[in-house]
Amino acid sequence: MREVMEKGKMIVDGADSRAFQAANFIQQEIQESIMGNRSEPKSVDTGNFANSIKVEKVEDKTYSVYTEVEYAKFLEFGTSKMQPRSHFTNTVIREKPRAEQIIKGTLTSV
């Protein structure tokens, strides 16, 4: 029974590790987007926004990628004077297949 429980824990730990890797991958891709290295317009002045992207564990196999920068919502969704840059939205849409491969353990290299 102990052996079965240990194997189950290893499977859960592996899945959580892959979810963490996928979250880190998305974080890096959002930073690349902000820096102008993807299709979205560059959003760098001081580097504060790009350096503010964080990954936080919500629960087992669930992570949040976010920023606490107050002006991020204006860059993401736009204003009456600025078009949206959609760094988070576009990155998730563009990289969802690769993130899913990371989670499943089927992606050989990022």
59: containing domain: 2-104
Does residue 78 lie in a domain region?
A: yes
Does residue 85 lie in a domain region?
A: yes
The β-bridge partners of 63 are 57
Does residue 74 lie in a domain region?
A: yes
Total-model pTM: 0.86
Does residue 37 lie in a domain region?
A: yes
Amino acid at the residue 89: T
Query: Which single residue is written with the structure tokens 């992606």?
Result: 107
Number of domains in the chain: 1
pLDDT tens track of the chain, all 110 residues?
555 555 455 555 678 899 999 999 999 999 999 999 999 999 999 999 999 999 999 998 999 999 999 999 999 999 999 999 999 999 999 999 999 999 998 876 66
Does residue 109 lie in a domain region?
A: no
Does residue 100 lie in a domain region?
A: yes
Instruction: Tell me which residue of 23, 9, 6 sits closest to 100, measured CA to CA.
Output: 23
Q: Is 20 exposed, middle or buried (0-12, 13-18, 19+ CB in 10 A)?
A: middle
Instruction: Tell me which residue of 95, 97, 100 sits closest to 38, measured CA to CA.
Output: 95
